[in-house]
Structure 1
Amino acid sequence: MTYLAAEYQGEATLNTVEKTVPTLGEKDVLIRIEAATICGTDSHILAGHHYAKPPVVLGHEFSGYIEDVGSKVTAVKVGELVTVEPHIFCGNCKYCRIGKEHLCLEKLAFGVHLDGGMGQYTVVPERTVYKVPDGISPSVAALTENVGCCLHGIDRANIQQGDSIVILGGGFVGIVLAELGRMRGASKVVVAEPNEARRQLIEKRGFIALDPLNQNIQEEIMHMTNDLGADIVIEAAGRRDTAQQTLNLVGRGGTIMFFGVVPPEYTVSVSPNDVFKRELNIIGSAINPYAHHRSIELLKRLNLEELITHHFSLKDIHTAFEVAQKGLGLKVAIHPNRGDL
């Protein structure tokens, strides 16, 4: 059986190609993709800022219905809606053996090293598949992996009841991080975002929205915190200037978390003496270890449907990426098996 898929072919080239469904292994499942959402990583791959192994079908955030299963698959059945935790770990390196699989030295990812979800079908191992509860749409189910990344970040930030949080970047992950931070008991959640429509949505959700183009973010944060600075500052825009800005916004004993994917060629200046004197915690957050199941349990509470602002068929994949890259919406969904969009 053949199917259509959006294949990254290197050097910023993304083409729709016809592929053949591979033979199922005894512990594999065949998924008919219902929705795949565009992540910043996908855009970074096309821009040459993130590694991928071409030719490869993009998409690591996706959901779909089980079409067929291998002879020894027991966890899922044909017809069930599922989402996929898109990583394969070696199981043998130090990090896999100490419970830090996400730092695996030989990690592989669907949509980066292995064919992902921006196609009509994909084949994945049973162990990566999670059933989606009733009442959750395929588009929201596709967001499970990204929510898991946010959940891991919030775990890493170690938010305490009453903490103040500043999030730089009010895209999809910025909003989800804000929601999760509030769930953890943050007393004040501030999101800095230049896009007016996003700021309106952020305020609608009950958070404080600041405009970095027309407001002095440092002055605003110091005013809100009685000149103490925020307890937690999260960089969620993936920009060098906002990464640098975090140091001016965090208070003594506070935590800076780099969550956004700043291009690897960019650096920021950090004074070790400043980190020492203020006892700052500077941490990173990578992917979503052991968070996929918890993410599914949270989907209904996060009101994610309104964050999926655009829907496209596979034939309009280039338009979909253009919308995502220009920041014209929040989450952009691809529906490979629908041609009526």
Structure 2
Amino acid sequence: MKALVIEAPFQASIKEVPYPAPGKGEVTIEVERAGICGTDIHIFKGEFLSSYPIIPGHEFSGVIHEIGEGVTGFAAGDRVTAEPNIFCGQCPFCLTNRGNHCDQWQATGVTQNGAMAEYVTVPAQNVFRIHDSMSFGVAAFIEPMACVVYAMNRLKLKVGDRTLLFGAGAMGQQLIQSLVHAGASELVVVDLSPEKLQIAKQWGATKTVLSHEIDEHLSTVHYPRGFDVVIDATGIPAVIEQAFRYLGPTGKYLQFGVTAQDSKISLSPFDLYQKDWTLIGSMAINHTFYPALNWVKENRVRLDHLITSVLTLDEVPAFLAEGANSNQLKIQVQIA
């Protein structure tokens, strides 16, 4: 079968690789759509947890092609998506509802071959059927939406919280809709793209600010008490360091954007102490795939408009080398 293979940092090509037959308790999915995530970019650049060679792709949907021994409840032809995170279910983290920190954590497309290929094999317990009315493009969004659901569970936003979000990309746009549903009052969004900010305003931002105008609009003159909640969805260390300037007393900071492994920022420990800050990380998914699927199925969060480009598999190596432009949101790959 044909697949995108990252052989080493900055080395990606389309290759013929063996078909991944399902083992016991597994299914093989013929991939229809796969999303390109910021994590995939980090993997391409050698900045994440992956070893090489690796077939990336952890946001995907498709049709069950083959069922392995012992699998029940599924049939060839079922329209599905799948959670990429694979937990052992037996370690202390798994047994205390912290599976995303599993001692034996694995992930399709990150530590195991993923969905930037014609076929991908996953544990049957990670597979979820999608309704016939749901497009494969939207279904490939369930994984990033599950990351958002986990982040919202971690954040525990209070109704009326005044919120500042850095980053209006695809993940930021999902956070915007989720924050609105969760009860944010003022929701200020910062980005360098006017086009992305316009979409943010349409879907719930109460105010948008261009990155280079942040001092003009978010100074202590305008926000003397800061914000109750500040969220980073950029993964850019310079933005993250700047974000703390706007966090008010007893405020909560959420690090949602993925950074390179060796990134560093400076943070005042006195501010952390004196202002009673709460700092929150949000690592991937933690049993939030099914709630995300339900939220999307009921159109609580709309995703269609976030797909700004669809590539063929053959076009992905060039895209990885060149990078996306600042106005693009979610880029997906049509496989089948």
* Fold match (TM-score > 0.5): yes
Offset at residue 323 of structure 1 (A): 6.7
SS in 1 for 2:41: helix
Match of 2:52 among 54, 61, 65: 54
Q: CA deviation at 1:322?
A: 5.2
Among all aligned residue pairs of Structure 1 and Structure 2, give the percentage whose two residues are the same amino acid.
29
Distance of 2:109 and 2:325 partners within structure 1: 21
Shift of 1:8: 1.1
Partner of 2:193: 195
Q: Deviations over 1:162-207 (max 9, x none)?
A: 1111111111111111111111111111110101111111122231
Q: Which residue of 1 aligns with 2:182?
A: 184
1:11 and 1:48 in contact (8 A); partners too = yes
Is 2:276 aligned against 1:279? yes
2:303 matched residue in structure 1 = 304
Further displaced range: 24-33 or 302-311 = 24-33
Change (3 A) 1:291 1:324: farther
Cα distance change on mapping 1:323 and 1:172 into 2, 3 Å: farther
Do the aligned partners of 1:75 and 1:126 also contact (CA within 8 Å) in 2? no
Answer with 246-255 or 321-330: which moved more: 321-330
Q: Work out whether residues 43 and 50 of structure 2, in 8 Å CA contact, stay in contact via their aligned partners in 1.
A: yes
Q: 2:255 aligns with which of 238, 255, 258?
A: 258
1:330 maps to 329
What's the counterpart of residue 246 of structure 1? 243
SS in structure 2 at match of 1:97: helix
**Post-superposition shift, 1:272?**
1.9
The answer for the alignment partner of 1:96 in structure 2 is 94
Tell me the residue number matched to 1:4.
Answer: 2
Could you tell me which amino acid in structure 2 is paired with residue 121 of structure 1?
Y
Distance apart, 1:150 and its partner CA:
1.0
Asked whether the 8 Å contact 1:253–1:278 carries over to 2, the reply is yes
- Distance in 2, matches of 1:191 and 1:82, equals 34
The farther-off stretch of 314-323 and 37-46 is 314-323
Cα offset, 1:209, TM superposition: 1.4
Q: 2:118 aligns with which of 113, 120, 125?
A: 120
How many residue pairs get aligned? The number is 333
TM-score scaled by structure 2?
Answer: 0.94
TM-score by length of 1: 0.93
| 1:324, distance to aligned residue in structure 2 (A) | 5.1
What amino acid sits opposite 2:293 in the alignment? I
Counterpart AA for 2:18: T
The one-character-per-residue Cα deviations of 1:12-51 (angstroms, maximum 9, x if unpaired) are: 1111111222332232111110000000000011112113
**CA 318–159 in structure 1, closer or farther in 2 if over 3 Å, else same:** same
Q: Is the 8 A contact 2:26 2:67 kept in 1?
A: yes
Alignment check: 8 A CA contact 1:67 1:78 kept: yes
What is aligned with 1:74? Answer: 72
- RMSD of aligned C-alpha atoms? 1.6
Which secondary structure does the structure 1 equivalent of 2:218 belong to? helix
| Aligned partner of residue 181 in structure 1, secondary structure | helix
Q: Deviation of residue 95 (structure 1)?
A: 1.1
Which structure 2 residue ranges, 5 or more long, are not aligned?
none
Which runs of 5 or more structure 1 residues have no equivalent in the other structure? none
Alpha-carbon shift at residue 264 of structure 1 (Å): 2.6
Residue of structure 1 in register with 2:290 after alignment = 293
The 3-state SS of whatever aligns with 1:9 is: strand
1:157 Cα shift?
1.1
Which residue in the other structure is 2:162 paired with? 164
Q: Equivalent of 2:228, from 228, 231, 243? A: 231
CA distance in 2, matches of 1:137, 1:194: 30
